[in-house]
Amino acid sequence: MSTLFHSTMSAGSRAVRLLMSEYGIDVTLQEEQVWERREEFVALNPACTVPVLVEGDRTIVGSQIIAEYLDETHGALKRDRRMFPEDPMGRAEMRRIIDWCLVKLESEVTRYAVHERVTKRQMPSNLGGGAPDSQALRAVRANISFHLKYLGWLASNRDWLAGDQITHADLTAAATLSVLDYMGEIEWSEETGLKEWYARMKSRPSFRPLLADRLRGMPPVSHYVDLDF
């Protein structure tokens, strides 16, 4: 049995969880509060970031690195259910969108939203916990519109975000949006195409565990589990 060290509100962790579910891989989830810097976890990953996948004596670190590993070890056997395109250009476009979500969107929106609204509630004050920074949240809400419009354009002009088949780009984007949606940071009425695509993603069996996620003292917005919004 594999163990995935993850954080409930980590978009990269959620993307790996979705891929493992799509590929039918059993995994034990281990929630990790990275700010605690547990000695055992730092020994696995000195960068002290999630996700980290442990399979026996093998340790794989990082969302996209784990995803590539899982596709190489399991995806080739899935035929039409494989989440990585066979052709190089299809893979390049998939990776570009993943990079957009886990690097650009993460650095401009997701990381700060989660830190201010979730992590600081969990951390002790001597480690930086406390009330959210209203200025940081204003920046998050100013930045998010651009990203939603771009992802919405992709969703409205393609069958799936990276082309004519569902790929790990869709899983990663949906994982990222699920984090922001949990906190009520997305105004869906302004993004019809993106909303329709996300509803398709939410309806997949692999998404059910994500919709069941709950943070202590911070329930999701009311429409979070509603497949039809």
CATH code at 25?
3.40.30.10
Residues 98 and 76 in one domain: no
Q: Are 168 and 81 in contact (CB under 8 A)?
A: no
Please report the sign of the dihedral spanned by the C-alpha atoms of residue 58, residue 63, residue 65, residue 69: positive
How far apart are the C-alpha atoms of 41 and 39, rounded to whole Å?
A: 5
Work out how many domains the chain is built from and give that number: 2
Predicted local confidence at residue 114, as pLDDT: 98
**Residue where a domain stops, chosen among 48, 81, 114:** 81
Query: Within 10 Å of residue 125's Cβ, how many Cβ atoms?
Result: 8
**Residue where a domain stops, chosen among 46, 81, 116:** 81
Q: Encode pLDDT of 204-228 as tens digits.
A: 999 999 999 999 999 999 999 998 8
Residues in the chain: 229
Predicted local confidence at residue 228, as pLDDT: 83
Give the residue numbers spanning the domain of 52: 2-81
Residues 110 and 32 in one domain: no
**What residues does 58 pair with on adjacent strands?**
55
How far apart are the C-alpha atoms of 147 and 149, rounded to whole Å?
A: 5
Q: What is the band of 76 on the pLDDT scale with cuts at 50, 70, 90?
A: confident
Predicted local confidence at residue 229, as pLDDT: 76
Average pLDDT over residues 70-78: 94
Average pLDDT over residues 95-105: 98
Task: Tell me if 217 is assigned to some domain.
Answer: no
Task: Tell me if 120 is assigned to some domain.
Answer: yes
Lookup: tokens for 198 = 């996300």
Q: What is the band of 3 on the pLDDT scale with cuts at 50, 70, 90?
A: very high
**pLDDT tops 80 at residue 162:** yes
The CA angle 186-190-194, to the nearest 5 degrees, is 70
Task: Tell me if 173 is assigned to some domain.
Answer: yes
Residues 147 and 101 in one domain: yes
Task: Tell me if 13 is assigned to some domain.
Answer: yes
Task: Please tell me whether the overall predicted TM-score, pTM, comes out greater than 0.75 for this model.
Answer: yes
How far apart are the C-alpha atoms of 94 and 68, rounded to whole Å?
A: 12
